Amino acid sequence: MPQIILHPDKERSVFRRHPWLFAGSVAHLKGRANSGDTVEVLTDDGRPMGKAAWSPKSQIRARMWTFDPDETVDDAFFKRRVAQSVARRAVMPELRGQQGLRLIHAESDGLPGVIADQYGDTVVVQLTSTGADKWRKAIVNALVKVTGCARVFERSDSDVRGMEGLEPVTGWVHGEAPEGGIVIDENGVRLGIDVEGGHKTGFYLDQRDNRRLLGELSAGKSVLNCFCYTGGFSLQALAGGATNVLSIDSSGPALDRARANLALNQNLPADRAEWLEADVFLALREFRKEGRTFDIIVLDPPKFAPSAAHAERAARAYKDINLLGFRLLNPGGLLMTYSCSGGIGLELFQKIVAGAALDAGRDARIVRRLAGSADHPIGLAYPEGEYLKGLLVQAD
């Protein structure tokens, strides 16, 4: 097996069980390895540290499959890892019976570059690293055997694949598209899932608990849902008894899907829902001019900072949108604000929101910190996995 030899003192991250080895940590490759091949990882003095997937075109030169030098990376390895990942979810009471569930959360589940989400009897897999791409067949077979799912769709079309030197890959890899589409029930609300064309794997499962929370807070309240996508937060607010819900997104197709989701729920009051296709920043400024205010505002924008290099520009965008939110919030109102940017840490995000409140002239307090659902765990040795950060803020 090919081996990568690390520079002196560069083995510390591996000893801490961090799954990434950057280009600057690798002294040289001993033997020949193609992209995605499994390689042994050795310290500069020859001590074995485990096995990793080789990625010569990426700054993350290798991703650790195992920290056990004696463990074999083969089909059986992936079946074990998939089974372990699924079993972890089974012990969490709030995840039992969920029709939409993340089964594998990449590095945090010991499978770098592998995302798998389940929607009913359909599993969507996303492979973002060379190693995951190399073991596609083994991963898909393991998912089918462990879950008993009827079909698997691959959505390996994220930008991250380009950094690994990989082309986009999408399509059904097991079974066929179900007649009538895919519909799940989430906290009593029916949602149609577009696994072929929707964002990520078709939906944002990480916000499941936060959508439920919004429903619990919405009785008798006016709600503004910004960057609403297909209406997950909006429908939970309606189900929770909101007096009216205004939802904004810049994507017409996303709003069409949101309206279709509302139509799936005949028990929800459609006359209390308003959908607006617009740039959220511009729309909120118009509301400010018009004197419109709301009891609850949800700010769940797209990723403004994919990396730390974009943090400064992203911070200005987060400051702007939260400032607008505070100015439109009724006294005693709640701002549910999020960042999914890996380049913006929790401490910085809190400072940004605090600055926005100050500039808006509002006294405010954090009443709850918000994060991803339990099926999106964060490896203790892999803090980069904590991408979703949220605050529930109450303003006087």
d(CA 229, CA 346): 24
Task: Tell me the catalytic residues.
Answer: 340
Give, for 269, the enclosing helix (H) or strand (E): none
SS3 of residue 164 by DSSP: coil
Give, for 317, the enclosing helix (H) or strand (E): helix 311-327
Nearest Cα neighbor of 263 from 144, 168, 183 is: 183
Q: What are the C-alpha distances in Å from 379 to residues 17, 73, 170, 343, 382?
A: 10, 21, 28, 18, 5
Concatenating the DSSP letter of every residue in 227-238 gives S-TTTHHHHHHH
Nearest Cα neighbor of 226 from 153, 281, 158, 166 is: 281
Which residues in 348-388 belong to E strands, given as ranges? 364-370
In contact, 239 and 189? CB cutoff 8 Å: yes
Nearest Cα neighbor of 207 from 340, 74, 67 is: 340
